[in-house]
A and B are shown apart, each in its own frame.
Chain A
Amino acid sequence: NAGVTQTPKFQVLKTGQSMTLQCAQDMNHNSMYWYRQDPGMGLRLIYYSASEGTTDKGEVPNGYNVSRLNKREFSLRLESAAPSQTSVYFCASSDFRGTRQPQHFGDGTRLSIL
């Protein structure tokens, strides 16, 4: 009963390095999301994938790219990390975007950019 699984849980990068955050869900959900959480800012949507094969920008997409690899997996890539991207990143999934189905969240990835 894993739900939404994110890897890694923690990561420290140097400015300019790249990395990919992985997310997988086993609930057969159609929609997947990436958020960042910063103190006093709540959760802000970076990118989402309403269904397999589609991705769209959210509120704060700059500096990120995503790939919806298949129905289960949705990865987030930082091509050239910047200190402003230090944050906790959450992946979530739901049955369908914009419906009454709540989103289910992973445990998060705590990312520090030095």
Chain B
Amino acid sequence: AQSVSQHNHHVILSEAASLELGCNYSYGGTVNLFWYVQYPGQHLQLLLKYFSGDPLVKGIKGFEAEFIKSKFSFNLRKPSVQWSDTAEYFCAVTIYGGSQGNLIFGKGTKLSVKP
């Protein structure tokens, strides 16, 4: 079965540090890729998405992600984190074909930014 792996369960950074959160998916065909963010006590919000074209996509709040097809990866990056980036981050994919079509989520990475 298709799956999404997020390698880090909990990441702790100081303000101004750089961030990279890993995401890998297991599917050889066409995928759509998403990163969602969930701030404490809130619902999930879309950070960015990738469908095709330039593999480096920019999202809201200074986040970006790079799709590397050969590595089945879609890592999330931010050059300089802020305390307000403290949240849980979820990578997700949708897959074309057959009965697939729903979002498959990773288990999430909790980011804590120390002021």
Contacts and interface: CB of A to CB of B under 8 A. Distances in A.
B65 to A, nearest CB: 14
B43 A108 contact: yes
B102 A45 contact: yes
A99 B94 contact: yes
B107 A98 contact: no
Interface in B40-87: 42-46, 49, 51
B100 A43 contact: no
A71 to B, nearest CB: 18
A42 B90 contact: yes
Contacts, number: 51
Given A100-B51, A105-B43, A108-B43, A58 B102 contact: yes
Contacts of A99: 32, 94, 101
Secondary structure at the A interface, as helix, strand, loop or mixed, is: loop
Secondary structure at the B interface, as helix, strand, loop or mixed, is: loop
Contacts of A45: 102-103
Interface in A90-109: 90, 92, 97-100, 102-103, 105-108
Interface in A60-94: 90, 92
A33 B108 contact: no
Contacts of A50: 101
B96 interface: yes
A40 interface: yes
Contacts of B106: 42
A113 to B, nearest CB: 21
Interface in A1-58: 4, 33, 40-45, 48, 50, 58
Given A42-B105, A42-B107, A100-B49, A106 B100 contact: no
Contacts of A48: 102
A103 B42 CA distance: 15
A90 B103 CA distance: 13
B34 A102 contact: yes
A105 B49 CA distance: 16
B114 interface: no
